Amino acid sequence: MGNFPANSPQNLRGIDVYKAFLDTQAQMGLVAALRDVVAAAPMFHPETRFGKQMSVRMTSAGRVGWVSDRRGYRYEPRHPSGADWPPIPEMVLAVWRHLVSDTRDPDCCLVNYYGEGARMGLHQDRDEADFSWPVLSISLGDEGLFRVGNVERGGKTESLWLTSGDVLVMGGDARLVHHGVDRIRFGSSTLLPRGGRLNLTCRVVT
């Protein structure tokens, strides 16, 4: 673990894009670790604050986990079942320590699963208290069409296909850009036996 490529990132509107950062072996190790996360904290279908069911399923690892329902978007110290969130997998922490900080670990690793037809609308990640820490994103499994807009709502956007093993760092001026996933190419990767896309986002929350 921690044997990562030294390539410098591409830049997409201030987001650092590390294509193929995790090799196949690392991706498979991460999927195995995520099985333990999901066993302890099963995926659930959150609702937006307007009561609409999201198409992605999600869970979290870490000190706190992100939840959404009619009470709004927030971090909670426990899974909706009442159980503690499981620890963030070591492989995820290794990527964070390599690309973001080796002195401060993330509080939350949100795990999103996109099945066939799932998508995520343009949004900002702004439920954290401190935006000086970047958000780190790891993509696994099927390809996803990631769209990036601007800090303000509206305006032109740019899109990029994220493939398994790609890592993004959204920090600095890009910390609050609008972003979302328009669609996935279901079945484009064999990493996940039942297909689909996993995205992990690590955040410092407090």
With CA atoms as reference, report the closest residue to 142 among 120, 115, 109, 182. Answer: 115
Q: Does 13 bind ligand SIN (CB under 6 A)?
A: no
- Are 1 and 159 in contact by the 8 Å Cβ rule? The answer is no
Contacting residue, 106, 199, 202, 204, with ligand SIN by CB under 6 A: 199
Residue count at the site for Mn ion (CB under 5 A)?
1
Segment lying near ligand SIN (by CB under 6 A), choices 30-38, 42-50, 97-105, 138-146: 138-146
* Residue 12 CB contacts under 8 Å (≥ 6 apart), including other chains: 148, 158, 160
Residue nearest to ligand SIN (CB): 199
Q: Does 179 bind ligand SIN (CB under 6 A)?
A: yes
Contacting residue, 95, 133, 146, 189, with ligand SIN by CB under 6 A: 146
Beta bridge partners of 60: 110
With CA atoms as reference, report the closest residue to 77 among 68, 66, 87, 88. Answer: 66
Q: How far is the CB of 14 from ligand SIN (least distance, A)?
A: 15
Q: Does 12 bind ligand SIN (CB under 6 A)?
A: no
Q: Does 128 bind Mn ion (CB under 5 A)?
A: no
**What is the residue type of 6?**
A
* Residue 173 CB contacts under 8 Å (≥ 6 apart), including other chains: 14, 151
Residue whose entry in the numeric block shows the structure tokens 């000086």:
132
- Residue 146 touches which member of Mn ion, ligand SIN, none, C-beta under 5-8 Å by kind: ligand SIN
Cα 36 from Cα 71, distance rounded (Å): 29
Tokens linked to 185: 């190419």
Contacting residue, 27, 60, 189, 201, with ligand SIN by CB under 6 A: 201
Which residues are near Mn ion by CB under 5 A?
Answer: 125
Which residues are near ligand SIN by CB under 6 A?
Answer: 112, 120, 137, 139, 144, 146, 179, 181, 199, 201
